[in-house]
Amino acid sequence: MLGTQPEYRAMIAADIEGSAGRGNVALMTVRNILFDALRDTSAASGIDWDACHRSDRGDGMVLVGPRDMQKSRFIYPFVNDLAERLRAHNRTAGEPVRIRVRMAAHAGDIYVHDGTVAGSPFEFLARMLDAPPVKDGLAAAPVSTTVGLVVSQHIYDEVIRHGYVGIAPESFSRVEFSVKETTAAAWVQLPVAVPVNPGGKPSAAASGSTTWTQKNYSRKGNVFGVQGGTQNVYTQES
């Protein structure tokens, strides 16, 4: 039975890009590599892996941080560290077992009891992972980009915009998306390998992402442009 009082927790989800059609052997291989990388990344980020609730999603995982964990730990150094670990794997991996992931970060009140968690924040987390700007952004990014990150407006307001050590607000771009019954705003980042200055922040010349912009045109749909890449148009009928 779930607890009667909700607990505020930070959470992050990872979903393997292009997991379908790899075959069972390749899928199990990339799952194991990703899960090992998530565990090692957690340790490197000062996150207690054993204290996290972990949900296996078949081709990905949802991590719920301990009650007293700072939300920012799931952003930096977590995302950058994971991206580099996956890049290192991909450099020597064959095509069937190369890995790129979409990640979504959120926080909210959930119910926790005896290793079980539930609550509406998980639904929103899943919707962000399926958002077209995240999927298409990662697909259009260079192969060296191993992580496409989307964060909720809540995470942006509470963490990203403050520019804490290692976090560059200018590397995030606001997008709007509609998935199933959910229509919302979120912030997308496509981390790449960037030098870090002595102060711990990426240099202004290398903010660590491919930038998405959005323009609205009446009766012509929404245009999402990728800097230096392709353009995808999502039409909306009037």
pLDDT of 228 > 50? The answer is no
Among the ranges given (58-72, 87-101, 178-192, 207-221), the one the predictor scored with the smallest mean pLDDT: 207-221
Task: Report yes or no on 1 lying in a domain.
Answer: no
What is the number of domains present in the chain?
1
The rounded mean pLDDT for the chain is: 83
Report yes or no on 201 lying in a domain: yes
pLDDT of residue 158 exceeding 70: yes
217 versus 153: which is more confidently predicted? Answer: 153
Residue 187 resides in a domain: yes
Give residue 21's pLDDT.
79
CA-nearest of 23, 26, 17 to 94 is 26
- Does residue 118 have a pLDDT over 70? yes
Lowest mean pLDDT among 48-57, 65-74, 126-135, 208-217: 208-217
Q: Would you tell me the crossing angle of helices 24-44 and 78-92 to the nearest 10 degrees?
A: 140
pLDDT of residue 201: 43
Rounded percentage of the chain residues whose pLDDT exceeds 70: 79
Q: Residue written as tokens 């077209």? A: 132
Percent of the chain with pLDDT over 90: 71
Query: Tokens in use for 65?
Result: 């941080």
pLDDT at position 234 over 70: no
Please give the structure tokens belonging to residue 62: 């949802």
What is the C-alpha to C-alpha distance for residues 231 and 229, in angstroms, rounded to an integer? 7
Mean pLDDT value across residues 133-137: 93
Query: Which has the closest alpha carbon to 10: 159, 214, 187?
Result: 159
CA distances from 177 to 35, 134, 226 (A): 28, 10, 16
Are the C-beta atoms of residues 53 and 117 closer than 8 Å to each other? yes
Q: What is the largest CA-CA distance in the chain?
A: 52
Read off the pLDDT band of 57 (50, 70, 90): confident
Contact indicator for 36, 99 with CB cutoff of 8 Å: no
User: In this structure, are residues 64 and 108 in contact, taking their beta carbons and an 8 Å threshold?
Assistant: no
Task: List the structure tokens of 196.
Answer: 């870090």
> Using one digit for the tens of pLDDT, what is the confidence trace for 162-203?
999 999 999 999 999 999 989 999 999 997 644 444 344 443
**Quick one: CA torsion of 38, 63, 160, 41, rounded to 10 degrees?**
-20
What is the span of the domain harbouring residue 124?
A: 7-234
- Pick the more confident residue, 199 or 156: 156
Can you give the CATH number for the domain in which 156 is found?
3.30.70.1230
Instruction: Give the Cβ contact number of residue 234 at 10 Å.
Output: 13
Query: Residue 95 and residue 19: Cα distance in Å, rounded?
Result: 12
- Alpha carbon 237 to its chain centroid, in Å, reads 30
Question: Is there a domain that residue 21 lies in?
Answer: yes
Q: How many CB atoms lie within 10 A of CB 217?
A: 11
For position 2, what pLDDT does the model report? 57
Residue 2 counted as domain residue: no
- Residues with Cβ < 8 Å from 135, sequence gap 6 or more? 17, 102, 148
Instruction: Enter the pTM of the model.
Output: 0.79
